[in-house]
Structure 1
Amino acid sequence: MWGRRDYPLTTGRIAEYVLAFVSLCFDVRSFHGRDMTAILQHHPGVMDYESAFVVLATCAAGAPVRRRSYSKLMTVAHDPNDLHGTDTLALSVLALRCVAETTSRSVDRHLSGPIAALVTRQEADGGFGNFHSTLLAVQALRLEREQGWNESAAVAYLLSHQQEDGSFGNLFDTTQVLPVLLGRTLLNVTTTDCHRDGGGAEVTEDPPTVPPPTTTAAPPTLINFTLWLWVGPDVNKTFSQALTIPQNTSLFDAMKLAAERDSNFEFSATVWPNGHYIHTIGGVHEQKVGYMFWLLYRLKASPNVESKPVNTQLSATGVDDVFPEEGEHILFWYKKI
């Protein structure tokens, strides 16, 4: 799993493995000779979403949480501009609560902002933007026993995604939603018998006791763009995801965020001297026989099946050198060249 040149794992995916192994009572700090928490700590990710996931998984594994990672959560918690996505806010709440429960640190004063922001994100249909964001928001709000949201509507929204066969579309989504429907959260991975006699995580240096001054660093400028997937020359399947990312974030890093939120956007890449080459998205692999490849287009408006993009709209650079712009539409189209 660790020696491949392909790119099968994002930081968030490794964190998910850590949480899964912790729930099974595996020693992730000595897993086949490797400390998986150390791998997480050295690859915390570029997104605040990934950073929060790393703290949560590290804490659940009983490993020390670095002050730098804790401080980053403080920055999210005390963001006066409410710039962070629902997923990031919810994971930050879960991560901070884990640290509080495994150390003796009080985090209540740090959680009021994220919790209040989450409550305002609930929409008329009961959800929090999409299925995966709703899963995380429900866990965070339940954990904090927040009163200002409609829990029944949120659960009904989740149940509305159940298919006729009883699943929720795919294995990943089904395994994610079932614990939530039973009233559990990601923090419950440490409630099995093998964890009851163990210690908790510690912050290796004292975290700041007050919010970091807002004057020391300006909040990042965020941009919104839409990532699209078209499958087949005749466009048999389409997927899209609206993303909010810091300005000057590469498309490659944005794709990692998209993959964490929707399994249809999971991808694999090969590392070439000039960067990452995407050969698989959503389980659809390029086919050299038949010349079927993933082509990358940069568009000013939503792609239209009735008026398909032309070759002049192909990106001249790879995913490491594409930096999405405000309002842009970026399309990966699996087609014959």
Structure 2
Amino acid sequence: MKGFVSICLLLLALSSTVIAKPPRRYDLELEDATSQTPTACVDDDVTCALLDATKWLLQQQEEDWGWNGGISTSSVVLAMQLANESWYHGKALKTQLGIKQLEIELLAELGRSAKLSGCGTSSQRHSRLAKISVGRLALYILALESTCHDTRDFYGNDLVELLEHNMRRFPREGFNNHFQYSLGVLALCQSGDGSVKLKHIRELLAGQREDGCYRFDGEVGPDVASLSVMALSCAKASVPASFRSRFVQKFNNTVSCIRSKQQEDGSFGNGISTALASQALKAANIPPSLWRADVALQRVLETQHEDSHFGNLGATVQILPLLANRHYGSVEDVKMACNIQGTDSDNSQSGGAPSVPTEQPGPPITIQILIENGIDTEEPSVTVSATAPAGSTLFQFLQEAMASSEGAFSFESKMTDFGNSMTSFNGLANDGVNHRYWSILIGSDRESASTGTDGIFPEDGGEYIFYYRSY
């Protein structure tokens, strides 16, 4: 671990230093008014629920720019990034202050551990670091990874090494269930470079009962099994060929456990359990028709309160990724925006914090855009080509296509808190009354997009289908 002595002193100082009171929020709100002004959502229940929930989360930001006294800052940052990676890249002042507070909170927590354990030789390092819980450290790593930090060099600390060390003694007091362990595996997996080992996968599988469920799951609600499936789905690339058949068998057992928990009304228990189960089945690529995905989503939406949260802050941050068609294993997708934005991979100059992105347009590339009406199948499809610099968003390609099509192709969109939302193609608009909307499919496999047109960066020769269908 780099710079141990100096960072130890820094952390000790942080843990005992009173941070000055921040400027009045009113002043910053004036400066940041444009980026924080709410906009109306499109006529779509899921989009509206997503927008309203994120606005509510932002309203819970406290005077120090964290959430819930620092307990939930990492969870909120992670949820906001999974909901829309543009939240960080938009560079809004409140957003950047929230992420800076995330860094301060982690440094303070490292400092408290150093103060309790003593600080000096490298032989004391692991006893000091072991005082940070695996669950909290995993959430810190996931939040930092989603906001373009280098978790291998966070102000001189290798957080990934720290996490792996803290996961070695399992089970033990305070770290004895597979929900926390699954969070740890997810964080190792999302940090890349082969951090997940076979021993981690074996431990997750060993916690299963014969029916594929986990001991801490009750009669209703497969919460631990759901997080385990998300972790295993992410880590499956690390499974050696000699263990693959065993892995697949045990993995499928846990998926079956989750599916067996679905009730007649489509839920998997309460709103949190239903959201986690839905995210897990999505991560495992289980066809939606096999588990009534749309019905489960409706049960989750019904738990949203009039003031837009889902019962409390903790429930809201766990449900938010589902509303964006993502899950806790989607951090790798969110991180793609870091490379596209030109973030410098060497962040040691800024203690692991993200550097200022640079924009360098790439060479021109061409994609195909298809417009298909899945409701009126007699309506002919429209195909147009679009050319734009590499690194352009799909929305920018749409603009180029409309400008060059000489009237053969047109679209309309609305700006929301999550970027441009497509509302109409060639005069055929979203129909909220009859639940008919445009969706985005990608490639010959027609895979559903996990983000909107502002979050998709086409590759040369790619095919992007805008498909009109009912939900």
Q: What TM-score do the two structures reach when normalised by structure 2?
A: 0.38
- One-letter identity of the residue aligned with 1:73: L
Confirm whether residue 124 of structure 1 aligns to residue 264 of structure 2: yes
Structure 2 counterparts to residues 176-325 of structure 1, below 5 A: 176-191=318-333, 192-193=335-336, 194=338
Q: Distance in 2 between matches of 1:61 and 1:3?
A: 23
Q: Distance in 2 between matches of 1:10 and 1:183?
A: 29
Confirm whether residue 87 of structure 1 aligns to residue 223 of structure 2: yes
Identity percentage of aligned residues: 32
* Cα deviation digits, residues 60-91 of structure 1 (max 9, x gap): 111512332221122245x3144512222112
Give the Å deviation of 1:169.
Answer: 3.2
Task: Say whether the 8 Å CA contact 1:76–1:92 is kept in structure 2.
Answer: no
Q: Distance in 2 between matches of 1:67 and 1:143?
A: 20
- One-letter identity of the residue aligned with 2:294: S
Confirm whether residue 74 of structure 1 aligns to residue 205 of structure 2: yes
Structure 2 gap segments, 5+ residues each: 1-108, 117-129, 168-174, 343-471
Q: Distance in 2 between matches of 1:101 and 1:61?
A: 14
* Cα deviation digits, residues 21-54 of structure 1 (max 9, x gap): 1111111121122122222222223212211211
Q: Say which SS state the counterpart of residue 129 (structure 1) adopts.
A: coil
Give the Å deviation of 1:153.
Answer: 2.2
Task: Say whether the 8 Å CA contact 1:127–1:157 is kept in structure 2.
Answer: yes
Task: Say whether the 8 Å CA contact 2:151–2:159 is kept in structure 1.
Answer: yes
Task: Say whether the 8 Å CA contact 1:161–1:168 is kept in structure 2.
Answer: yes
What is the aligned partner in structure 2 of residue 97 from structure 1? Answer: 233
What is the aligned partner in structure 2 of residue 174 from structure 1? Answer: 316
Confirm whether residue 142 of structure 1 aligns to residue 278 of structure 2: no
Task: Say whether the 8 Å CA contact 2:229–2:251 is kept in structure 1.
Answer: yes
Confirm whether residue 133 of structure 1 aligns to residue 133 of structure 2: no
Q: Say which SS state the counterpart of residue 137 (structure 1) adopts.
A: helix
* Cα deviation digits, residues 261-289 of structure 1 (max 9, x gap): xxxxxxxxxxxxxxxxxxxxxxxxxxxxx
Distance change >3 Å, CA 9–CA 155, structure 1 → 2: farther
Structure 2 counterparts to residues 53-72 of structure 1, below 5 A: 53-63=183-193, 64-72=195-203
Confirm whether residue 51 of structure 1 aligns to residue 51 of structure 2: no
Greater Cα radius of gyration, structure 1 or 2: 2
- One-letter identity of the residue aligned with 1:53: L
- One-letter identity of the residue aligned with 1:149: W
Distance change >3 Å, CA 124–CA 60, structure 1 → 2: same
What is the aligned partner in structure 2 of residue 26 from structure 1? Answer: 149
Normalized per residue, the structure richer in strand is: 1
Q: Distance in 1 between matches of 2:132 and 2:267?
A: 28
- One-letter identity of the residue aligned with 1:161: T
Give the Å deviation of 1:186.
Answer: 1.3
- Kindly tell me the number of residue pairs found equivalent between the two proteins: 196
Task: Say whether the 8 Å CA contact 2:145–2:191 is kept in structure 1.
Answer: yes
Give the Å deviation of 1:101.
Answer: 4.3
Distance change >3 Å, CA 51–CA 173, structure 1 → 2: same
Task: Say whether the 8 Å CA contact 1:76–1:89 is kept in structure 2.
Answer: no
Q: Distance in 2 between matches of 1:88 and 1:172?
A: 16
Give the Å deviation of 1:181.
Answer: 1.1
- One-letter identity of the residue aligned with 2:298: A
* Cα deviation digits, residues 181-226 of structure 1 (max 9, x gap): 12111121111323689xxxxxxxxxxxxxxxxxxxxxxxxxxxxx
Task: Say whether the 8 Å CA contact 1:90–1:140 is kept in structure 2.
Answer: yes
Task: Say whether the 8 Å CA contact 2:263–2:269 is kept in structure 1.
Answer: yes
Task: Say whether the 8 Å CA contact 2:211–2:254 is kept in structure 1.
Answer: no
Give the aligned CA root-mean-square deviation in angstroms.
2.9
Distance change >3 Å, CA 74–CA 103, structure 1 → 2: closer
Task: Say whether the 8 Å CA contact 1:30–1:36 is kept in structure 2.
Answer: yes
Distance change >3 Å, CA 43–CA 173, structure 1 → 2: same
Q: Distance in 2 between matches of 1:168 and 1:9?
A: 29
Task: Say whether the 8 Å CA contact 2:267–2:274 is kept in structure 1.
Answer: yes
Confirm whether residue 4 of structure 1 aligns to residue 112 of structure 2: yes
Give the Å deviation of 1:4.
Answer: 2.3
What is the aligned partner in structure 2 of residue 159 from structure 1? Answer: 301
Task: Say whether the 8 Å CA contact 2:134–2:163 is kept in structure 1.
Answer: yes
Give the Å deviation of 1:117.
Answer: 0.8
Distance change >3 Å, CA 120–CA 109, structure 1 → 2: same
* Cα deviation digits, residues 235-258 of structure 1 (max 9, x gap): xxxxxxxxxxxxxxxxxxxxxxxx
Give the Å deviation of 1:176.
Answer: 2.8
Q: What TM-score do the two structures reach when normalised by structure 1?
A: 0.52
- One-letter identity of the residue aligned with 2:282: R
What is the aligned partner in structure 2 of residue 299 from structure 1? Answer: none
- One-letter identity of the residue aligned with 2:185: V
Give the Å deviation of 1:100.
Answer: 2.3
Structure 1 gap segments, 5+ residues each: 198-337
Q: Say which SS state the counterpart of residue 28 (structure 1) adopts.
A: coil
Normalized per residue, the structure richer in helix is: 2
Q: Distance in 2 between matches of 1:66 and 1:102?
A: 7
Task: Say whether the 8 Å CA contact 1:123–1:129 is kept in structure 2.
Answer: yes
Task: Say whether the 8 Å CA contact 1:37–1:58 is kept in structure 2.
Answer: yes
